[in-house]
Structure 1
Amino acid sequence: MPETFRIQTLNAISPLGLNRLDREVFDLGTEFTDPRAILLRSADLHSYEVPSSLYAVARAGAGTNNIPVDKLAALGIPVFNTPGANANAVKELVIAGMLLAARNLYHAADYTRDLVAGQELTGKDLDKAVEAGKKQFAGFELPGRTLGVIGLGAIGVLVANAAQAMGMKVLGYDPAITIERAWQLSPSVEQVTSVEELFASSDFITLHVPLVEGTKGLVNAQRIASMAEGSVVLNFARGGVVDEEAVLAALDSGHLHAYVNDFPSEAGAVHPRVIALPHLGASTGEAEDNCAVMAVDQLSDFLLHGNMRNSVNFPEVVMARTKGTTRLSIFNENKPNMIGQITALLGDAGLNVTEFTNKARGDYAYTLVDVEGTIPADLKESILAIDGIIRARKIDG
């Protein structure tokens, strides 16, 4: 009888995604002690005691800072994310952030509200106060200004193209841009070769990079100093990629015009030149639906067929199924002669291999093998006995 996969949901997940799961095959719950998979958004797994039953973790979102990715990789547990599923929602927020900053809209709205709520002005008195006070909120327009985009993934490309369509000059920096994203990028976007060049040439800087060791404090005092006076920094990536102390100092001195971000801090939230939003990047119904659908589809494809799409800790491996075959899903350390030892065991068992694929990523590799007929019960144990094999699973056709 086919296995029923228990999927533990640790956050509210859009029904549009969950309804794609066949409930005869997948059992959803919030309190499983032995789940086969975990589906989450913001729940923190760093203190989670990983059960031996766990096959995979899927996050309905792009960032995985709340998940111990390396720890799970060492256990042969892939972590899936959903890059690009919330890209349009974040793009719209970045464009809105630029407009809020350029036209001083955030603080202008506060000023108008205070005239009525605080000073209780009405009628002609309100009109006079509005006219007298509006000069302090005079802003500037975006066409002709230069936007520097750091990170040209799904979100960065959309932001760059949208800003270029609004009449801005756009510079992009991403040494690891994919061919797919390069094709999507407007040919009018100029790619620069260094972060320093981008800062020195931009009126706005927007960040679309993960928080890793190499991106911590990417926006620092030295780079801010190279920007033109009156520039704007936008951060809808992760709080840690910006040295906020350096940004606040630049705002106090007048060197920066504004800092717009989605990661409020005690100091930043009350600063008069900061626009701090409550982590709204993907907070649209459409984005939540898109992320849930993508996460569920990737998770179910892995559980049912072993296919690996958008894993952050293992390589992408996708292989079509052939009727009448049995599949082996194997996680191993990336070391010599692993494939030879696996295929030798298959040959010794008299199994005819119909499809085989193996890919490596960093310290780990992933293998899918389809064989004709039935796999002997002891073969899995023989494979697991190979030095360097982390995990193996038999997937019936």
Structure 2
Amino acid sequence: MSTDPIVVCLHHPAKIDLDLIRDVIGESPRPLDLRLLPFKENVKLRRARLHPPIPAELLAVAPEPDEALLVGWKQAEILLTLDLPVERLGDMPNLRWVQAYSAGFEQFPLAELTARGVSLTNAAGAGAPAIAEFVFGRLIEVFRNLRGLDAMQREHVFHRPGGRSLAGRTLGIIGLGAIGSEVARLARAFGMKTIATRRSARPGDRSDLVDVLQGPEGLSELLGQSDVVVLCAPATAETNNLIDEAALEHAKAGSVLCNVARGSLVDETALIRALESGHLAAAILDVTKQEPLPADAALWSAPNIYLSPHSSIPPDAYDERLVALFAENLRRYLADEPLINLVDPARL
């Protein structure tokens, strides 16, 4: 076994508790060289990487690595990062494993990493409790008509704007992974019936997390029965525009759609039509197809829409859990154990 240090470049978050990482690892079979080297691209460039080729004007403003970063990349075996420019992979000859900062990894050059024998793990689950809290914060806002109460206060007119209870209603979860599981847990605390779809579920499968579990073929039934539908599935070719005009026609009249997954899951034009017709009572979108959402986007003016800028996770809640996940994966890497959240290209 080599006794050379394992160089680990920590790009994001910018502040990391290195002692926490060392405590989780314990005694390492090889020396660890943990290097805090902040690196992050801007949102527009990150989004452009989802649909190459990247416009030259965006590449022109990409962050230029300094000497310390270039040396780190040359020596690094492991990266913890939010961004990984495909044009820089040639500067990383020793790279073996990348831990993504986010649950989503669409911006990472998966095909190139796979060809180089580099493993990719994502941060699925790190933000699940916070995202579930956000979902129910928004649902309470919608069902209890908190906007109406705020308007009453602004207008100085004392009246009861009305509202509805969540208890006794049916909540459908599309994607019973880490986030979906946390949403299901809170739904039961609110006295809601829960049904879910999971990509790997087969007929007859059950889960202690929900009352009814189905495979992807159960989507139409879930939509038709649910007073609330929460999208928690990953962005894949299979889920692109999963909620389109045909799917929305199956949705229960007066239901609420909530998307905390990825903007690619929803046909936004069809969604706006469903809101304008009143078929959907409301839509909660923390994610959109285009981010940042342009000022002239039609979504801004859609009726009964609740928009937020991909902000369902507060940084203080996320970073600590992310670093703990990375530390455990680093321990596993050193011990030659299976990594948590290893991305399997064959399943995408």
TM-score, scaled relative to structure 2: 0.75
Q: Deviations over 1:345-383 (max 9, x none)?
A: xxxxxxxxxxxxxxxx849xxxxxxxxxxxxxxxxxxxx
- Say yes or no: does 1:53 pair with 2:74: no
Q: Which residue of the partner structure matches residue 5 of structure 1?
A: 6
Paired residues for 1:118-267 under 5 Å: 126=156, 129-131=157-159, 134-135=160-161, 138-177=162-201, 184-186=208-210, 189-193=211-215, 194-264=218-288, 265=293, 266-267=297-298
Query: Residue 59 of structure 1 contacts residue 295 of structure 1 at CA under 8 Å; is this kept in 2?
Result: no
In the other structure, the counterpart of 1:62 is 103
Letter in 1 for 2:317: E
> How many equivalent residue pairs?
294
- CA offset digits 1:160-202 (Å, max 9, x no partner): 2321231212111114159xx965515xx11245111111111
Does the CA contact (< 8 Å) of 1:17 and 1:289 recur in 2? no
Give the drift of 1:17.
6.0
Choose from 285, 302, 307 the match for 1:271.
302
Which one of the candidate residues 312, 322, 325 is aligned to 1:291? 322
SS at match of 2:238: helix
Percent of paired sites with the same residue: 25
Listed one character per residue, the Cα deviations across residues 110-148 of structure 1 (whole Å, up to 9, x for unaligned) are x35754xxxxxxxxxx2xx243xx53xx32111222111
SS state at 2:171 partner: strand
Decide which of 35, 41, 49 is 1:28's aligned counterpart.
Answer: 35
Runs of 4+ in 1 over 6 A off after TM superposition: none
- The unaligned stretches of length 5 or more in structure 2 are 38-68
Q: Does the residue aligned with 1:36 lie in a helix, a strand or coil?
A: strand
Post-superposition shift, 1:106? 4.2
8 Å contact kept, 2:77–2:97: yes
Aligned partner of 2:73: which letter?
T
Are the counterparts in 2 of residues 69 and 312 from structure 1 also a CA contact under 8 Å?
no
Please report how far the alpha carbon of residue 44 of structure 1 lies from its aligned counterpart in structure 2 after TM superposition.
5.2
Aligned to 1:309: 339
Q: Distance in 2 between matches of 1:80 and 1:312?
A: 4
Please list the CA deviations of residues 317-340 of structure 1 after superposition, one character each: whole Å capped at 9, or x if unmatched.
xxxxxxxxxxxxxxxxxxxxxxxx
3-state secondary structure, aligned to 2:105: coil
The amino acid that maps onto 1:25 is: L
Q: CA offsets per residue over residues 272-320 of structure 1, 9 Å max, x none?
A: 4111112223325233211111113213532x33333125335xxxxxx
Q: Which residue of 2 aligns with 1:105?
A: 146
* Higher Cα Rg, which structure: 1
Which residue is equivalent to 1:282?
Answer: 313
8 Å contact kept, 1:236–1:281: yes
Q: CA RMSD in A?
A: 2.8
The structure whose residues are more often strand, as a share, is: 1
* SS class of match (1:215): coil
Given the superposition, is the C-alpha separation of residues 362 and 12 from structure 1 closer, same or farther in structure 2, using an over 3 Å criterion?
closer
